[in-house]
Amino acid sequence: MSSLRLGVNIDHVATVRNARGGVVPDPVRAAKLAEEAGADGITAHLREDRRHISDADIEALVEALTVPLNFEMAATEEMQQIALRHKPHAVCIVPEKREERTTEGGLDVARDENRLAHFVAPLRDMGSRVSLFIAADKRQVDAAHRVGAEVIELHSGAYCDAHDEGDYDTRDRELDAMREMSSYAHSLGLEVHVGHGLTYDTVKPVAVFPEVMELNIGHFLIGESIFRGLGPAIFEMRRLMDEARA
């Protein structure tokens, strides 16, 4: 197995299903296909408004998966109870409301440190690896470390947006910040993941960071699967990641 893991986020299979109601396409079937295609983990975000993944999807994923489930959720009481019930391999805490996030879009851990420390503890105690989805900002990395997270996931959205907009100065600045914070977080003993907005065009410069252990990619892969099928879309992402890392 490569030292750089690929987590495939299947939320948007559920988005397509929910556009019509009903049961197709099935996110669990997509997750099993992703497993066969070499995904090292499956990520699913149970949002408070259930706009894509449902409670039943989470239950079915826990039952069906052989690779680890990374359960993404907001830091709410309700979600904590659901996580404690299912005991997923990993829990990634993400912001859902404006006031929970930094201007870059990551969780504002520094502003909510006390509450998050109490929120993280029971999840860790039950055995889940707790990750916080944050911007590449030293204040946030330090706060994530202090609240007891074992993992941080750096938000690559600003980097990917700048690339797509052709704003290469901003893109390179964002990339530098992620490189620097990957290395800093690693020095604190945190495991580093990266995710949001990654595509075939943007994955390699991030995949080369030696401290990064996992990339979580969803929207682009589900979109690309319309054109080449989910398995081949994942193979190609894996190939680019391995090529960057070699």
- Report the 10 Å Cβ neighbour count for 225: 21
Binding mask 137-156 for ligand PXP (x = CB under 6 A): ----------------x---
3-class DSSP state of 198: coil
Among 217, 230, 233, 237, binds ligand PXP (CB under 6 A): 217
Active site residues: 45, 72, 196
Cα→Cα distances 85→64, 80, 101, 127, Å = 16, 9, 27, 12
CB 42 within 8 A of CB 67: yes
Sign of CA dihedral 8, 11, 12, 17: positive
- Rule CB under 6 A: is residue 52 a binding residue for ligand PXP? no
Binding mask 95-134 for ligand PXP (x = CB under 6 A): --------------------------------------x-
Determine which residue in the list 111, 219, 238, 245 makes contact with ligand PXP, applying CB under 6 A.
219
Instruction: Tell me how far, at minimum, the Cβ of 195 lies from ligand PXP, in Å.
Output: 3
**155: nearest Cα among 116, 181, 191, 121:** 181
State both tokens at 100.
């929970």
Give the residue, chosen from 218, 224, 225, 230, that forms a contact with ligand PXP under the rule CB under 6 A: 218
Closest CB to ligand PXP among residues 229, 246: 229
Choose, by CB under 6 A, the member of 6, 9, 44, 177 that binds ligand PXP. 9
What is the C-alpha R_g of the chain? 17
Task: Please report, as a single letter, which amino acid is at residue 46.
Answer: L
Taking the least distance from each CB to ligand PXP, the nearer of 40 and 153 is 153
The residue range among 13-21, 162-170, 172-180, 217-225 that interacts with ligand PXP, by the rule CB under 6 A, is 217-225
Stretch of 54-62, 165-173, 218-226, 235-243 lying at the interface with ligand PXP (CB under 6 A): 218-226
| CA–CA distance, 203 with 215 (Å, rounded to integer) | 9
Torsion of CA 171, 200, 225, 48, to 10 degrees: -40
Binding positions for ligand PXP, rule: CB under 6 A: 9, 45, 72, 92, 94, 133, 153, 195-198, 216-220
